[in-house]
Amino acid sequence: MSVPNHIAMIMDGNRRWAEQHGLPVEKGHHAGAETVRRVVDYCQKHGVRNLTLYAFSTENWKRPVLEVKGLMELLSSFLGRYIDEMYENGVRLHAIGRLDKLPMVQRSFLLDAIKRTRGNKDFNLVLAISYGGRGEIADAAAKIAKEVAAGRMDVSEIDEALFRKFLYAPEIPDPDLLIRTSGEMRISNFLLWQISYSEIYFTNVLWPDFSEGDLIKALDEFSRRSRRFGGR
């Protein structure tokens, strides 16, 4: 079976899961965080080398203040609980997005976790936090404009390969497979540059319920697809 080198996931359905179980929204987010830990294990087990998770979008800042506060606290508690496990399992943590928008405590936890796992080479876990695909492209364009204005780059040098170097994590390969849970069928401003030729897989399963069997179904579907990249 052909296994994707890089899977990107839009983790959708925490709120609906909580509603279905008669629980407050924060319980759905906590259940979703536990799924993150399991999915990292599943991906490593099945030979995936890179995983990007849409953890918190730039639009999510518009959610109720208490929900945002809870999500930020969940980020730091998740890292506090599992960073040792990630380190021991060869996981290298990365983060993409406008991280300067994060509260100082969460940003400090995140940067410490990134530093702690920097030497790991077995598996890349990328958390997209305070992230938006359009924002990433705009930020890359702004950086290039500064280089041109400073005379360090000529406009004639700009092509797709050069532009890619100014994205948040140019060292991470583009996703082969994008998975979105909960039955929604849209991209939601996620990795707009990187998913140009990604296979897309939608499932009705809510994120907290996403199991190893659900991942295997996605991998089976991926292996059946013919990736032509526009060549024929």
Query: Mind listing the pLDDT tens digit for each residue in 135-149?
Result: 999 999 999 999 999
pLDDT at 66 over 90: yes
For residue 85, tell me if it sits in a domain. Answer: yes
Reply yes or no on whether 60 is catalytic.
yes
Q: Which of 5, 12, 41, 176 is catalytic?
A: 12
The pLDDT assigned to 230 comes to 63
Which 3 state secondary structure label does DSSP give 73?
helix
Confidence of residue 231 (pLDDT cuts 50, 70, 90): low
Query: Mind listing the pLDDT tens digit for each residue in 110-138?
Result: 999 999 999 999 999 999 999 999 999 99
For residue 215, tell me if it sits in a domain. Answer: yes
Query: Mind listing the pLDDT tens digit for each residue in 156-179?
Result: 999 999 999 999 999 999 999 999
Q: Which of 14, 41, 60, 89 is catalytic?
A: 60
Tokens representing residue 186 in the block: 């849209």
- Amino acid present at 44: Q
Give mean pLDDT, residues 197-205: 97
Q: For the ranges 73-77, 175-179, 222-226, which has the lowest average pLDDT?
A: 222-226
Confidence of residue 229 (pLDDT cuts 50, 70, 90): low
Q: What is the DSSP letter of 28?
A: H
Cβ atoms of 72 and 106 closer than 8 Å: yes
The pLDDT assigned to 226 comes to 77
Q: What is the DSSP letter of 97?
A: S
Q: Which helix (H) or strand (E) holds 146?
A: helix 133-149
Domain residues for the domain of 174 are 6-224
Q: Which residues pair with 80 in a beta bridge?
A: none
The chain-wide mean pLDDT, for the chain, equals: 96
Confidence of residue 232 (pLDDT cuts 50, 70, 90): low
pLDDT at 228 over 80: no
Domain count, the chain: 1
The pLDDT assigned to 151 comes to 95
For residue 207, tell me if it sits in a domain. Answer: yes
Domain of 194, CATH number, reads 3.40.1180.10
For residue 129, tell me if it sits in a domain. Answer: yes
For residue 89, tell me if it sits in a domain. Answer: yes
| Per-residue exposure over 127-159, b if at least 16 CB sit within 10 Å of its own CB, e if not | bbbbbbbebbeebbeeebeebeeeeebeeeeee
Based on DSSP, count helices (H) and strands (E) in the chain, helices before strands.
7, 6
Closest CA to 127 of 165, 91, 97: 97
For residue 229, tell me if it sits in a domain. Answer: no
Confidence of residue 68 (pLDDT cuts 50, 70, 90): very high
Q: What is the DSSP letter of 167?
A: S
For residue 73, tell me if it sits in a domain. Answer: yes
For residue 230, tell me if it sits in a domain. Answer: no
